[in-house]
Amino acid sequence: MMAATMLAARLHRPGEPLVIESVAVPQPGPGQILLEVAACGLCGTDIHLAVEGDIPVARTPITLGHEAAGTVVRLGEGVAGLTVGQRVALFPSPICGQCRFCRQGRESLCEATQAYGMSQDGALARCMVAPAHGAVAIPDGVDFATAAIVTDGVSTPLHALRSRGALRAGEAVAVVGCGGLGAHAILLARMMGAGYIAAIDTQPQARARALEFGADLAIDPAEQPQPARAIRAAFGRGVDLALEFVGRPETVELTLRCLDTGGRAVLVGVGPGRPALPPLLAFVGREQAVLGSFGMDKRDIADLLQLVARGRLDLSRSVTRVFPLAGVNDALGLLAKKDTGIVRLVVEPGR
How does the average pLDDT of the chain come out, rounded? Answer: 95
For position 14, what pLDDT does the model report? 87
Q: What integer pLDDT is reported at residue 113 of this predicted model?
A: 78
Whether the per-residue pLDDT at 178 is higher than 70: the answer is yes
The predicted-structure confidence for 308-318, as pLDDT tens digits, reads as follows: 999 999 999 99
The pLDDT of residue 1 is 65
pLDDT digits (tens, 9 = 90+) for 261-308: 999 999 999 888 899 988 898 889 999 999 999 999 999 999 999 999
Tell me the Ramachandran region of residue 251: left when phi exceeds 0, alpha when psi lies from -120 to 50, beta otherwise: alpha
Phi-psi region of 339 (alpha: psi -120 to 50; beta: other; left: phi over 0): left
Does the pLDDT of residue 202 top 80, yes or no?
yes
Where do the domains of the chain lie, and which CATH numbers do they carry?
Answer: 5-154+296-348 (3.90.180.10), 166-292 (3.40.50.720)
Q: How far, in Å, CA of 68 to CA of 347, rounded?
A: 10
Q: For residue 180, name the pLDDT band (cuts at 50, 70, 90).
A: very high
- pLDDT score of 76 more than 70: yes
pLDDT at 84 over 90: yes
Where are any strands of DSSP class E within the chain? 5-11, 19-24, 32-42, 62-63, 67-75, 87-90, 127-131, 135-137, 172-176, 196-200, 217-219, 239-244, 259-267, 289-292, 319-324, 344-348
Instruction: Return the pLDDT at 115.
Output: 87
Tens digits of per-residue pLDDT, 205-245? 999 999 999 999 999 999 998 999 999 999 999 999 999 99
Give the model's pLDDT for residue 48: 85
Q: Would the pLDDT of 149 be above 70?
A: yes
pLDDT above 90 (res 155): yes
- Percentage of the chain beyond pLDDT 70 is 99
